[in-house]
Amino acid sequence: MTMFARGVGSALAAQSPGFVDLKVQPATGATRAGNRMLQVGPGWFPERRGGAENVYYNLFRELQTNGFEVRGVVPGTQQAERETEGRVRTYEDRGRSLLSRSIAIRRVSRELFGSQTDIVGSHFALCALPVLDRIGQKPFVVHFHGPWALESATEGGGALSVRTKMAIETAVYRRADRIIVLSDAFGRILRQHYGIPAAVIRRVPGGVDCGRLAVSATRDAARERLRWERNRPIVLAVRRLVRRMGMGNLIQAMAMLRRSNGDAVLYIAGTGPERAVLESQAESSGLSNSVRFVGALSDADLALAYRAADITIVPTAALEGFGLIAAESLAAGTPVLVTPVGGLPEVVSGLSERLVLPDKDPAGIANGLAHALDHPSSLPNSEACARYARANFDWAHVGGQVASIYREVLGTQDRQGAPQTQPLGTVVTDTLAAVQLTPRDAQP
């Protein structure tokens, strides 16, 4: 065991609470003892625009609608505290070490544990690890948004970093009474890579705000408002620009597509470390007039972008648990093509198997795009797409499913078999020592 691992465990176990209490307003709707919930999240949407943050933000509202009294803890500014009248408390994590962030989580969350919390939910293992000891024997539900360690490995993370993340995830997941996954594909990852029994896993798809995405503008009107091409077929990709998202394959596919459908133009919305590489690839492939990088879009412009496109595409190459973009595009009434990766086929196959591309490689993507653009009537129309999204992914529907799982856990009478949680010093020390973590490795 490293001295650093001992230091982290000792410091977290001994740190003083010192924090300023904030006024906590009761949740709207009828609540009762047994329905008091604490949600430990990765950030507050839209301050932090990630998929997990989006889920946390919307479930905070939906779980209250379903009769729970919800409070939360997230990293970030005080925006969440203001918007929830103190029901969500925040701590700063930017530029902090693992030790500093962990102490901050414990300080902010100290009063939220105890008699006023009946059940705890977590949306990111790194945020849950510092409070595992405080969860104790309380029912504990984990929302699994993705395999942190495996994603890191796919993006070229170092072996030590990957082992560290795997150890943290495993410690948290194996304490959970239930783990909610976005797809059967993610359920398989939990069983195969983390040793989680199938009986613990529950599947609930991701949610979208169907009302917000159902804009009334026509396709031409949406293009005009965005100042996009008016007379060319538009393919839209909304992605974080990292390796596993398959954007390089998509650009190669556009070069192939130009031979049969030279008018098509690809709009790429999103940011990320691979943007410069992808821009260079598009230029060197002679696609300067066929690929547009438009950066991050506001919520209003994103809804218009879906409406403006003939087709949305999700070209993921690895580790896609759900594909929120696919569900959002359908909600906006635009058909979406997805690669046969992870949980993506689960999002669209119930509507039409033709929405699943034959392969994730450039040729498979190009062939699928060519067929869709040449035969648009082979794909579901706008009304069918929006109807399917409302029936399967609207937040009111998804929130009810999640609430039923929390009630399932709360309704379990025999909790004698629940995992025993060790003191935090032991939990953290053992977790970090398992990978021989050093101070430099603990930096975010």
- Confidence bin at 430 (pLDDT 50/70/90): low
Rounded mean pLDDT of 232-237? 98
Alpha-carbon distance 366 to 361, whole Å?
A: 9
Cβ 285 vs Cβ 251: under 8 Å? yes
Residue 429 shares a structural domain with residue 315: no
pLDDT at residue 183 is higher than 50: yes
pLDDT at residue 221 is higher than 90: yes
Q: Which residues, in sequence order, are CB contacts of 142 under 8 Å at separation 6+?
A: 121, 122, 125, 128, 172, 173, 176, 178, 179, 180
Instruction: Write down the pLDDT at residue 354.
Output: 97
Cβ 193 vs Cβ 147: under 8 Å? yes
Residue 198 shares a structural domain with residue 218: no
Residue 50 shares a structural domain with residue 86: yes
Instruction: Write down the pLDDT at residue 115.
Output: 66
pLDDT at residue 28 is higher than 90: no
359 Cα distance to chain centroid:
24
Instruction: Give the DSSP H/E element, type plus range, for residue 183.
Output: none
Residue 362 shares a structural domain with residue 401: no
Residue 79 shares a structural domain with residue 223: no
The number of residues making up the chain comes to 444
Exposure string of 298-324, with b = 16+ CB inside 10 Å and e = fewer, is eeebbbbbbbbbbbbbbbbbbbbbbbb
Coil vs helix vs strand at 230: coil
Total domain count, the chain: 2
Residue 219 shares a structural domain with residue 320: yes
Q: Which of 393, 416, 433 is the last residue of a domain?
A: 393
- The domain that holds 222 is classified in CATH as 3.40.50.2000
Residue 352 shares a structural domain with residue 403: no
| Residue spans of alpha helices (H) in 340-394 | 344-348, 362-374, 382-393
147 Cα distance to chain centroid:
11
pLDDT at residue 432 is higher than 60: no
Instruction: Write down the pLDDT at residue 428.
Output: 52
- Confidence bin at 18 (pLDDT 50/70/90): very low
Instruction: Write down the pLDDT at residue 262.
Output: 85
Q: At what angle do helices 51-65 and 395-410 cross, to 10 degrees?
A: 70
Residue 311 shares a structural domain with residue 382: yes
pLDDT at residue 108 is higher than 50: yes
Residue 98 shares a structural domain with residue 134: yes
Alpha-carbon distance 147 to 8, whole Å?
A: 24
Residue 111 shares a structural domain with residue 88: yes
Residue 56 shares a structural domain with residue 168: yes
Instruction: Write down the pLDDT at residue 94.
Output: 84
Q: Which of 393, 408, 428 is the last residue of a domain?
A: 393
pTM: 0.85
- Confidence bin at 10 (pLDDT 50/70/90): very low
Provide the domain limits for residue 42: 3-207+396-442
Residue 86 shares a structural domain with residue 156: yes
